[in-house]
Amino acid sequence: MALAAVFGAVLTPAPGLTAQELAEVGEAPASRPITQPLAIPRLTGPVTLDGVVDEAAWAAVEPLPLVMHEPTFGGELGERTEIRIAHDDQYLYASGRMWDSSPEDIRTNTFYRDLYSGDDLMAVVIDSYNDFETAVWFVSNPAGARNDRSVSNDGVFGGGGSAMNSDWNSHWEVQTTQTSEGWFAEFRIPFSTLGFQAVQDRVTMGLIAYRFIPRLNERQTFPAIDPKWGGLAFAKPSQAQRVVMDNVRQSKPVYVTPYTLGGLRQTPELQGPDDARTWSTDSDPTTEAGVDLRYSPTSNLALDFTVNTDFAQVEADDQQINLTRFPLFFPEKRQFFQERSSTFQFSTGGSSNRLFHSRRIGLDDGEIVRIWGGGRAVGRLGGLDFGVLSMQTADHQGSPGENMGVLRLNQELFNPYSSVGAMLTTRLGGLVNNVAYGVDGTVRVFGDEYVLAKWAQTFDEALREESALESGLYFLRWERRTDDGLSYWAEHNRVGRDYRPGLGFQTRTGTRFFGGSLRYNRFTSADSPLRSVYVQVSNGHYLRTDDGTAESRSISPEVRVEYKGGTEVRLSGNVNYESVLAPFTVAGAEIPSGEYWFAEGELRLQLPRSDLLRGDYSVTAGRFYDGRRLGLALNPTWNQSKYLELQGGYQINRLDFDSRGQDATAHLASLKVQVALDTRISFSTLAQYSNVADLTSVNARFRYHFREGTDLWVVYNEGLNMDRTGDLDFLDPRRPLSAGRTLMVKYTHALIW
């Protein structure tokens, strides 16, 4: 059935919707007119997935009406586009005809999976559980290079939530072609990949589709989504068009993915008597085998199991320079923990604090801890999101193995934008047992106004907790979510001195925080070279719970100008107060105890992400505690061709403390080389150098991708000592150049029933 019958000046309702089913569709935001769900047609004939889009079945489907999202909302489209959506019993299909008046300017800059390199794009975003909060996102460039990710927190950055996860991967297919008329694509996405809830054989989802033309910085979207919803407005689940499909039956494939691994690890060791010690190399050959299993017994439940879990192919972490006295946060990159990872979110303030952080499983201060295995179940039942995780680790450095468990529940309340939830985490069997729980709630009060409230408490055998308040955390926040006009947030939280989330991450304890932000953003007219301008001022105050004295204060004004071509210029300042009770070291320079007021300014330039030569560049200058700091950051990216991408990074921070006669310079440099012959064969090398750690690290990865879940990996890691001076106090000889190396060959093979 053609979509022409249901398109008009406004989208007409899908036939036969009952009051109960309309309730399942959900309520649109108050600031957006409510539209009835759109019926996605069933294909009337076969479709060959070849990227040609010439089947009669596609001709029977009406294209979606696209609207310019950027650079000017509602402006005249620069190029003609036809995107169609349809389905059969097992798959959701999307086709795109991206006509182009300058086909020679179509950009295909990479063959790499999950890499945006300034390419032309077609994308489909699907809120498959119809929860107005999460979505899965499928993208392709003209070469058929896939980019998939997940969206959570309704695409909102800040407030402790995560808006996007680029490390999520799943099973789906795409084929593309390119001619003198433009480029063309066909997507085939299994319903088993999406997951959904059916009500009387009817499935309701949210849908967004778009085309991006980088040379014009033009994004065409369906439906028409106002940019006021923020930087990810074009992928915001709550703004998706609700769509319905009838008589959909999810297949129930079982994915069994065994792996085999072999390799060699070489580690330098000191040997010999104390007065004649020498360095030798300890070689440790390794062979491993394991298996992962994935099964969805129902459309709204996914089960994952793993035995002898291995993450040898995971890309190395990006090194960071720490200019504070608090620990650094590193994101999760391991694939097993990515599927609907948003279900397990429980933020506790700031960008990194959280009750559960999966990197605490199988990693100990950067060292790998063997995971014997575990399982996970995630899904949605009615308005309830649920997740259960249990993992068992092996003994490590004299500490017995641990069982780590998580339970997360989140129930929709009042409307699709309000919820209450709870989380329980356990870390048992090691030297110290740890248990934590939390309850949280988010309520959309009216319009764009939201209130967030949270409470968490921990129980740790190593501590004698003084009280529930001291072993707990509470969090209150009021915010206005919009990117057009006035927006703001105000927050208060308290973290007790005995709060220790054994599976979480928390930068500060024993503090109370008061803070807020006020921002005004304005989108300009169509004839202006600017797209938007905003001014913002933020402030934050950390007070010690013991005596009420200030630990940190900050006031941060900022001005940002965004051009229609994609260039951004930001000018910001920071006025800081720090009360240091115990000396600490930054880049080799000591910061003495004391009280400090200091201010600095930063100028940042971000070039359009669609340029072949792009990147962001910044300079920072000002006071730093009782001294001065001058910082420079250069992060260029260059696509030499669709076969080669180079990413460079260099940071330098010069610290001068003239009154104490001290100075320090922290360098951090990186170079990533990515070579891809096609979408199957790729090679990448990431080299990083830090003079603070006196170490250069190299992570090289070759991949041959046979099909989804079946890959051959060859991974090489090595650390190089930059300071090779021995320890004269212990008569140690000069260090070897290599701090250790590993070479691993891993093969995974997905079996699907």
- 696-740 pLDDT, tens digit per residue, is 999 999 999 998 889 999 999 999 988 887 655 555 678 888 889
Q: What is the pLDDT of residues 613-639, one digit of tens each?
A: 999 999 999 999 999 999 999 999 999
Residue 619: the pLDDT is 98
Closest CA to 379 of 297, 303, 300: 300
Residue 367: the pLDDT is 80
The residue count of the chain comes to: 753
The confidence band for 169, taking pLDDT boundaries of 50, 70 and 90, is: confident
Most confident of 14-18, 349-353, 507-511: 507-511
List of residues 6+ apart from 660 with CB closer than 8 A: 592, 626, 627
Please state which of the ranges 163-172, 440-449, 704-713 shows the lowest mean pLDDT: 163-172
Quote the DSSP letter at residue 9: S
The confidence band for 32, taking pLDDT boundaries of 50, 70 and 90, is: very low
d(CA 488, CA 263): 53
Identify whether residues 241 and 312 lie together within a single domain: no
- Residue finishing a domain among 468, 489, 506: 506
What letters, b where the CB count within 10 A reaches 16 and e where it falls short, cover 391-422?
A: bbbeebeeeeebbbbbbbbbbbbebbbbbbbb
Identify whether residues 228 and 350 lie together within a single domain: no
Q: Could you tell me the CA-to-CA distances from 182 to 11, 54, 142 in Å, in that order?
A: 29, 14, 9
Identify whether residues 218 and 333 lie together within a single domain: no
Greater model confidence, 705 or 333:
705
Examine the pLDDT at 421 and tell me if it is beyond 60: yes
**CATH code of residue 216:** 2.60.40.1190
Q: What angle do CA 336, 341, 342 make, to 5 degrees?
A: 175
Examine the pLDDT at 18 and tell me if it is beyond 50: no
Residue 313: the pLDDT is 81
Quote the DSSP letter at residue 214: G
Residue 548: the pLDDT is 94
Instruction: Indicate the number of domains in the chain.
Output: 2
Residue 31: the pLDDT is 39
- Judge whether 100 lies within some domain: yes
- Judge whether 522 lies within some domain: no
Residue 14: the pLDDT is 37
Distance from chain centroid for Cα 348: 17
- Judge whether 151 lies within some domain: yes
Identify whether residues 306 and 212 lie together within a single domain: no
Identify whether residues 332 and 463 lie together within a single domain: yes
Residue 558: the pLDDT is 98
- Judge whether 610 lies within some domain: no
Residue 339: the pLDDT is 75
d(CA 434, CA 448): 38
- Judge whether 182 lies within some domain: yes
Mean pLDDT in residue range 682-707: 93
Average pLDDT, the chain: 89
Residue 137: the pLDDT is 94
Examine the pLDDT at 335 and tell me if it is beyond 90: no
- Residue finishing a domain among 488, 506, 524: 506
Evaluate whether 2 touches 41 at the Cβ level (below 8 Å).
yes
Examine the pLDDT at 684 and tell me if it is beyond 60: yes
Examine the pLDDT at 253 and tell me if it is beyond 90: no
Mean pLDDT in residue range 121-149: 94
Identify whether residues 480 and 379 lie together within a single domain: yes
Residue 7: the pLDDT is 27
Examine the pLDDT at 26 and tell me if it is beyond 60: no
DSSP for 527-549, please give it: TSSEEEEEEEEEEEEEEETTT--
Burial of 213 (0-12, 13-18, 19+ CB in 10 A): buried
The confidence band for 570, taking pLDDT boundaries of 50, 70 and 90, is: very high
The confidence band for 571, taking pLDDT boundaries of 50, 70 and 90, is: very high
* SS3 assignment, position 654: strand
- Judge whether 726 lies within some domain: no
The confidence band for 5, taking pLDDT boundaries of 50, 70 and 90, is: very low
- Judge whether 750 lies within some domain: no
Q: Rounded to two decimals, what is the model's pTM?
A: 0.85
Residue 365: the pLDDT is 76
Mean pLDDT in residue range 233-238: 92
Examine the pLDDT at 35 and tell me if it is beyond 80: no
Mean pLDDT in residue range 117-141: 94
Q: What angle do CA 440, 445, 450 make, to 5 degrees?
A: 55
Closest CA to 318 of 666, 675, 723, 687: 687
Identify whether residues 237 and 304 lie together within a single domain: no
- What share of the chain has pLDDT > 90, as a percent? 68
Domain span including residue 394: 300-317+324-506
Identify whether residues 221 and 364 lie together within a single domain: no
Examine the pLDDT at 27 and tell me if it is beyond 60: no
Neighbours of 65 (CB within 10 A): 12
Residue 23: the pLDDT is 35
Closest CA to 587 of 625, 636, 616, 542: 625
Identify whether residues 383 and 240 lie together within a single domain: no
Identify whether residues 102 and 217 lie together within a single domain: yes
Identify whether residues 214 and 350 lie together within a single domain: no
Mean pLDDT in residue range 488-517: 96
Residue 11: the pLDDT is 31
- Residue finishing a domain among 228, 246, 264: 246
Distance from chain centroid for Cα 645: 21
Identify whether residues 21 and 111 lie together within a single domain: yes
- Judge whether 172 lies within some domain: yes
The confidence band for 275, taking pLDDT boundaries of 50, 70 and 90, is: low
